[in-house]
Structure 1
């Protein structure tokens, strides 16, 4: 039986004093951003790929389970250890030596531990950015492992669509370095192996480096918060935008009245953009972006958006607030903070075909109102890509005390509705982890689970890496 001391003594020469944490120093690595709390055997923080290889070889040889962890911003518990105190957390936070920008190729090769904010700071002098827009600051490796999307997915795609090459340290063969792909947009020299590691929550290998396609920073943007005339008008407005301004549409975000009010009431320096009128029952945040300058094209995006909205008044729009994009995006990004201030969030990160998203939101709200009337819905999401954060709050002042059994029943109801009634996904962006793996096993067809298990067996026959078994087995590492 391995102990913390014996494992630490073995790993210390591999990563040095700065690379090994024990005791109370591990606390932030053992607690997830929303779910997941456990006890690690120890935490290792390799500073380069050679140290990652050495750690992987030692742990694989001695059958010590590894939990890869980036910035630990995930929301399904996939980057935190369990309660067994038998797992080593392998943090990539010190893998930050390489950030090589190829401005002419519009690409960047970056170590897994560099965060999204740091990456964009490196890209800024070149007029470039990696336009994954989130309410968190994840690491590059974590974004690949979760296949991060965000609010501008409709224009730029998710991480999968912007990944040119990937470097990983394999579990089988133990510690072998695998470079997959090059900084090419066209390469059909065999299977695209790097995609086997995207969206797998860290299973199968340690992601150490990625080459990403990056984009020109917009020279113009225009923003509006509009009130649709009806639920049906939401998709009519989206279709009209894509028809008339599709080359510039970068965001189409839905915000419920409860979501806006939660943010307005609880986030300092945030005002109601519709004041003196109350926040509407539902609003849509529209953003247009252009990489081209007005000086050369003659195009003024704000004037263009204003003209479009004028044409849509009474057809699809009842009201609109136009202009201050920073203020409107601050409202959108403050919703989660406002929701947490109300009580305990019961978060649903789901997606359905976007043609059915308003129907789903209406049906899900009805279920909560009828069967869980003591709960409070705070929903918002990425209408244009079919994603919605259907957050339900167990308010601090609710008439019924918090009950985990009720939370479980609500999750079962909502996920069944998403998958069975609306042909959707129970995890649109957050991936699969210990928090939601039971729903993966419930709703993923057996042939798909067997294929996933076969891949896992090939890449990690001892199932040493990651916290989720994607196959038929119910046992997680």
Structure 2
């Protein structure tokens, strides 16, 4: 018997793919990484996943876990050796339980994020994790990368929204930590260890997540501002005025909006793009009523305009208008694809330093690469920037060849501002080799020790986060 035949015995012949059937799962969403695989398997439940892992451990065969394949760093794409098994979680798509008294929802890892949001809404609750890819990304992938999204300023990252996990270990054991407890000080926090580990320490198969009361009123507004300094000041003003009601605070450059207008003409943009160089998209969630929300938004934003920190504002009056404003923000990554392949940086900077970082880093890039386009947007409420760089007009050919040098300029600048080279997309293949240059050495050594302890044969997503050659 071969591993391929053993896998067929475990999950069924029709759920072990090879050849052309496997091809769609071998390239990442951005088309940057394409690998090879011995097989693509689609287990039906956690027990089958455990069986698959035990087989791979027996044959010392790498396992790459893949959910919705919406990652941006190649973390769910196999390498080029062709010796890996790609394990899909899309058949584990059940909502296991909803507990409205405990405000929790327990789901399998292959559940689409939007499905979880809808299930929460149907019982009068909110699951606040929200991403542009929410219609196709899975909760397992969200947890594997500790996704952030647009409501981090109020609710936190995926880690903050998770109470318990079920995980298959590298030995094929099933750890059932799905308790819906908000207090549990019984030793090391294994949950937080697996979240953000990108499938290199264990395979997340289910999660118990926090639910929140469904807001009675949601108000959205787009604010025109003169510069990023003003945006940081506006954030302070709105935090003071709205308190915990402020759920979203997105920084968007006019270049991003212009790209959406040019390349995605069906997206409604209700203003002149060149009116201001920068915009802030905000959202508040009010638990009183619509009138209270209206009065509060008009008061707080009105005061900001009177103070001169906001130049102008569009306040959505209907749900459709609110959706239209958010659609602009969510369309930016798709407009970027139309513009051409850019060099992307998912980074975190202390909020107080964001303006200085952008100004100084832009200048450094222009000095070295005159005419590059700065495609900057992100979740300013938590300091997460998508600091992307596009080719000068008419110079797209060979632009990606500049990535290594450009990354060095950007990431060296991030380090000077005590930032992080990865905020919410993970490390994957894309940043694995440069992580040692920017990660504290003691922290990196501890990561290696954890990897060796939990995955001694290095079969779980090898070549991601930590290079296998660094482990031994």
Task: Give the TM-score of the pair, scaled to structure 2.
Answer: 0.94
Partner Cα separation in structure 2 for residue 470 and residue 76 of structure 1: 10
Q: Which residue of 2 aligns with 1:18?
A: 14
User: Which of residues 446, 450, 455 in structure 1 aligns to 2:441?
Assistant: 446
Structure 1 residue 109, shift from structure 2 partner = 0.8
Partner Cα separation in structure 1 for residue 370 and residue 294 of structure 2: 42
| 8 Å contact from structure 2 (residues 428, 465) kept in 1 | no
Correspondence 1:152 to 2:151: yes
Residue by residue over 1:323-371, the C-alpha shift from the partner in whole angstroms, topping out at 9 and shown as x without a partner, is 2311111111111111221111211111100001111112222222222
Partner Cα separation in structure 2 for residue 400 and residue 81 of structure 1: 28
Correspondence 1:162 to 2:157: no
Bigger shift: residues 366-375 or 57-66: 366-375
Correspondence 1:253 to 2:242: no
User: Which of residues 106, 110, 132 in structure 1 aligns to 2:129?
Assistant: 132
| 8 Å contact from structure 2 (residues 43, 91) kept in 1 | yes
Give 1:297-312 correspondences, 5 Å limit: 300-312=292-304
Give 1:30-109 correspondences, 5 Å limit: 30-34=26-30, 35-109=32-106
Residues 364 and 347 (structure 1), Cα distance of their counterparts in 2 relative to 1, 3 Å cut: same
Correspondence 1:209 to 2:202: no
Correspondence 1:430 to 2:429: no
Bigger shift: residues 398-407 or 428-437: 398-407
| 8 Å contact from structure 1 (residues 110, 209) kept in 2 | yes
Partner Cα separation in structure 1 for residue 349 and residue 404 of structure 2: 21
Partner Cα separation in structure 1 for residue 426 and residue 467 of structure 2: 18
Correspondence 1:347 to 2:344: yes
Partner Cα separation in structure 1 for residue 47 and residue 410 of structure 2: 45
Structure 1 residue 69, shift from structure 2 partner = 1.1
| 8 Å contact from structure 1 (residues 374, 398) kept in 2 | no
Partner Cα separation in structure 2 for residue 250 and residue 442 of structure 1: 34
Structure 2 gap segments, 5+ residues each: none
| 8 Å contact from structure 2 (residues 227, 277) kept in 1 | no
User: Which of residues 109, 113, 118 in structure 1 aligns to 2:110?
Assistant: 113
| 8 Å contact from structure 1 (residues 452, 470) kept in 2 | no
Residue by residue over 1:386-430, the C-alpha shift from the partner in whole angstroms, topping out at 9 and shown as x without a partner, is 0111111226x42463244322111111011111x1110111110
Correspondence 1:465 to 2:465: no
| 8 Å contact from structure 1 (residues 263, 335) kept in 2 | yes
Partner SS state of residue 420, structure 2: coil
Partner SS state of residue 179, structure 1: strand
Q: Which residue of 2 aligns with 1:315?
A: 308
Residue by residue over 1:241-274, the C-alpha shift from the partner in whole angstroms, topping out at 9 and shown as x without a partner, is 1112112101111110101100111113224322
Residues 424 and 30 (structure 1), Cα distance of their counterparts in 2 relative to 1, 3 Å cut: same
Residues 45 and 412 (structure 1), Cα distance of their counterparts in 2 relative to 1, 3 Å cut: same
Partner Cα separation in structure 2 for residue 331 and residue 65 of structure 1: 40
| 8 Å contact from structure 2 (residues 249, 280) kept in 1 | yes
Bigger shift: residues 299-308 or 195-204: 299-308
Partner Cα separation in structure 2 for residue 472 and residue 415 of structure 1: 19
Partner Cα separation in structure 1 for residue 212 and residue 104 of structure 2: 8
Partner Cα separation in structure 2 for residue 17 and residue 10 of structure 1: 10
Partner SS state of residue 344, structure 1: coil
Residues 473 and 151 (structure 1), Cα distance of their counterparts in 2 relative to 1, 3 Å cut: same
Residues 474 and 411 (structure 1), Cα distance of their counterparts in 2 relative to 1, 3 Å cut: farther
Bigger shift: residues 398-407 or 265-274: 398-407
Residues 73 and 181 (structure 1), Cα distance of their counterparts in 2 relative to 1, 3 Å cut: same
Bigger shift: residues 343-352 or 364-373: 364-373
Structure 1 residue 93, shift from structure 2 partner = 1.0
The count of corresponding residues between Structure 1 and Structure 2 is: 464
| 8 Å contact from structure 1 (residues 107, 212) kept in 2 | yes
Bigger shift: residues 345-354 or 313-322: 313-322
| 8 Å contact from structure 1 (residues 252, 287) kept in 2 | yes
| 8 Å contact from structure 1 (residues 79, 467) kept in 2 | no
Correspondence 1:373 to 2:366: no
Residues 369 and 157 (structure 1), Cα distance of their counterparts in 2 relative to 1, 3 Å cut: same
Partner Cα separation in structure 1 for residue 2 and residue 263 of structure 2: 48
Partner Cα separation in structure 2 for residue 181 and residue 124 of structure 1: 22
Partner Cα separation in structure 2 for residue 98 and residue 311 of structure 1: 45
Structure 1 gap segments, 5+ residues each: none
| 8 Å contact from structure 2 (residues 256, 376) kept in 1 | yes
| 8 Å contact from structure 1 (residues 256, 283) kept in 2 | yes
Correspondence 1:184 to 2:181: yes
